[in-house]
Amino acid sequence: MKGMLLAVLSTLWLSAVAQITITNAYFPAVGDTLRYTTLANAATMLELITPPGEDQQWDYSYLKLNQNTVTAYLAPSAGNSAALFPGADLLVKTFGGGESYYNVTNTQFEFMGFLGGAAIPFVPTAIGRYSPALIERRAPLSYQSTHSQVSNLTIPFAVSDLPPIFDSILVGIPLQFDSVRVRVRVQNADTVDAWGQLKIPNAKEYYPVLRQKRITKTRNAVEARIAGPFPLWVDITAFLGGTPFGGFTGADSFVVYRFLNNDHKEELLTVTADFFEDTIRTVRYKTLPLSVSITPPLDDAPGTASVQALPNPAVDKVRFECNNLPSDEYTLKIFNLVGKVVWRETFQASGRRVIHLDLDDFNKGTYLYSLSNKKGEIIGTRRLIVVKP
């Protein structure tokens, strides 16, 4: 009897710590809202990267909350550009009226491309497409699963869209061309290199997880299309080092560790590091419980100027705290998720300004608010969540 009991207990223990399999249940679907907390200043958290292997235990419950993000997945019909991405199954609204489109199969969750979203700051309606679609998630996944992919992102636009700063550059290029495109080659190599138990902030228990390691290599170039009866794309990257395009060129390599659990569509923890894993770029974990207290900036503010809505989520009233504003005229706008302005206020300010707003006329849901100066430069864009009793 004693031997039988030990055998049963042994079987239960092995079952409890056995590696799991990730299925397509973790693929986002229409109506899903994924919530994450992102840590800033995580460069020295090298303890978050551990060697590969089986039956590990990671206790990262000590990580401190910094910024919250919310991603809502909608039907493509909720967007204005679904016709540009035939076959899309999901839409995500991004700041500045941008839209990202995704395709979902039984085995892959794919990023097809986007419209807007400040990918090219001086072309707010730029369209980017991945060919083939960039695979963000795969299923099934188990320990030691490996996959790889090469995809190319192209973002074309007309020469007339270029700002005046390019005029002197174009004169120095001995070509006549009618359009330009940014081209990004993305190479991903994935390996499920570890499994075990993970604990994140606010979790009451450890979650069984697989850890997927993704090595990403990118190379960016700018190409121009020579006009004429036989158009030809040529690389003009070498001419653009001193222009705003300088930031779009070059190569990068980095590593992403993703901790996955089949019962959670959010990645429980994501650690992004430089290629040599000597510096942590970002750390992100699933927000628990599923609530958001402060939403993060969706656009970098020039200088130290900032805007923030409090409380957030808001019920009946909200205040917008604007800080470190240079003396100027500013406009604060609130947009619904289809980009329509539903409220605005223009004011003069220097330093700090607090604006109070009654939300009685607002429906429950997610909005965007944006603060800009008289020149139209965006100080900050963030999400505002309105909840009703």
| Predicted pLDDT at 112 | 97
Single-letter amino acid, residue 229: P
Among 286, 289, 292, 282, residue whose Cα is nearest residue 268: 286
Nearest to 254 by CA among 283, 275, 272, 270: 275
Print pLDDT tens along the chain (389 aa): 445 444 444 444 443 457 899 999 999 999 999 989 888 678 888 999 999 999 999 999 888 877 888 899 999 999 999 999 999 999 999 877 889 999 999 999 999 999 987 667 667 788 999 999 999 999 999 999 999 999 999 998 887 777 666 666 666 666 677 888 889 999 999 999 999 999 999 888 999 999 999 999 999 888 888 877 778 888 877 776 555 555 556 789 999 999 999 999 999 999 999 999 999 999 999 988 633 333 344 444 344 688 888 888 888 889 998 888 888 888 999 987 667 788 988 888 888 889 898 888 888 888 888 888 888 777 877 888 888 76
Give the residue extent of every domain in the chain. Answer: 30-286, 306-386
DSSP string across 11-29: HHHHHHHSPP-B-GGGS--
Residues 138 and 136: their CA atoms lie apart, in Å, by 7
Pairing verdict, β 365-373 and 53-59? unpaired
Helix (H, G, I), strand (E, B) or coil at 246: helix
> What pLDDT is recorded for position 314?
85
Residue 354, phi then psi, degrees to nearest 5: -115, 130
CA 297/CA 16 separation, integer angstroms: 41
CA–CA distance, 210 with 213 (Å, rounded to integer): 10
The burial of 102, by beta-carbon neighbours within 10 Å (0-12 exposed, 13-18 middle, 19 or more buried), is given as buried
Helices (H), ranges, the chain: 2-17, 167-171
Please tell me the distance from the alpha carbon of residue 237 to that of residue 240, in angstroms, as a whole number.
Answer: 5
pLDDT at 190: 98
What whole-number distance in Å separates Cα of residue 209 and Cα of residue 202? 17
Thinking of the domain 306-386, which architecture would CATH place it in?
Sandwich (2.60)
How far is residue 180's CA from residue 158's CA, in Å, rounded to a whole number? Answer: 6
Compute the Cα dihedral for 379, 126, 295, 134 and give only its sign: negative
Name the token pair of 166: 């390019």
Are 304 and 324 in contact by the 8 Å Cβ rule? The answer is: yes
- Decide: 104 and 27 in contact? Cβ < 8 Å: yes
What pLDDT is recorded for position 15? 39
DSSP 86: T
Return the CA Rg of the chain.
24
Q: What is the pTM of this model?
A: 0.69
